[in-house]
Amino acid sequence: MGSICKESLERSSVAPDNDQETDTGFRGKSKHLSHDRNKIITEAKGTCHLFGRRSSRNDSPYTVSPRSSRLCLNLSGRPPGAKRAFICGVSYKKQKFRLRGVVNDVHSMRDFLVKQFNFPRDCILILSEEDSDMPPTKKNTEDGFKWLTRDLQFGDSLFFYYSGHGLRQPDFNEDEKDGFDETICPVDFKTEGMIVDNYINEAIVRPLKQGVILHAIIDSCHSGTMLDLPLVYNKTMGKWDDNRPPSGAYKGTNGGKAICFSACEDYQQAADTSALSPDKAMTGAMTYTLISAITKAISSNQTITYCGILDAMHRTNLDEDNKSLHSKISRFFRRRIIQEPLLSSSEEFDINTEFKL
């Protein structure tokens, strides 16, 4: 875990332990600021400080073993309904590298699925650090993957959403063209380890049988190929690029289909920011623009396509009244946090197809 891509991590913007926020130099009102309520905050969702020091007893709110019965999920039986969603949000509360936008992302994604795509609430599994939810430990996250893919039937529509830190580590299996495995970081990753993209692929991509579709939304740094899907859409060239591993390992499904929107490419950083939300609430930049694009299309009785979503995530959605702020945000993202959303898939398809869950 110590061998992280240093070049892409060392420039990260990290919030300090107290309530003071990182000053980006932008001005605007934010309800999240305790010392200067006129700052707009932007934080990278990946940081070299994740491994900068040993954890102390007060670093994590979960001092009980994550494998104790109090923190484990009940996975008995098939989840009800043909639609099911697994939402995993990790804020890293009481830790130096905590994220402030995750809790808003989790609530927004849950409401989005229920209101826009009629997901039953009892078919949505949420892991978060809210008192009402099970904590996003490594064990619970892996069990959540099992819950999502349990007893699949033809016509099932699955949804996986992750908001939290993402990192990279060296690939020793020749499964990655760039030589790095991508990882997500559960709340106890410093003691239990990260979850590697190879595992995610085996857990939620390989089990997909014919007639089953999975949509995944990964809002973290280094998330481009977090599901290790064999095809990545090249937006510049307008075609699908081959992302199959050099080793020849099979990374596809068992007859089903997997589609993933990622916040950025594997070597890039994603961001939480208060610049996009009308009330200046901290949100994932990718999560906010994706939900906004789809919701706007549905409310206008327009068709939203995969291409339309990808285009929306490649531009900052701000009102006409905020053109000067748009320019500042654009310069900031280009200089400090490079974020180019990516679309990957288990099979080639026309991205002008209507997006449906």
Kindly list the catalytic residues. 165, 221
Q: Which residues have CB under 8 Å from 107's CB, separation 6+?
A: none
**Is the CB of residue 292 less than 8 Å from the CB of residue 278?**
no
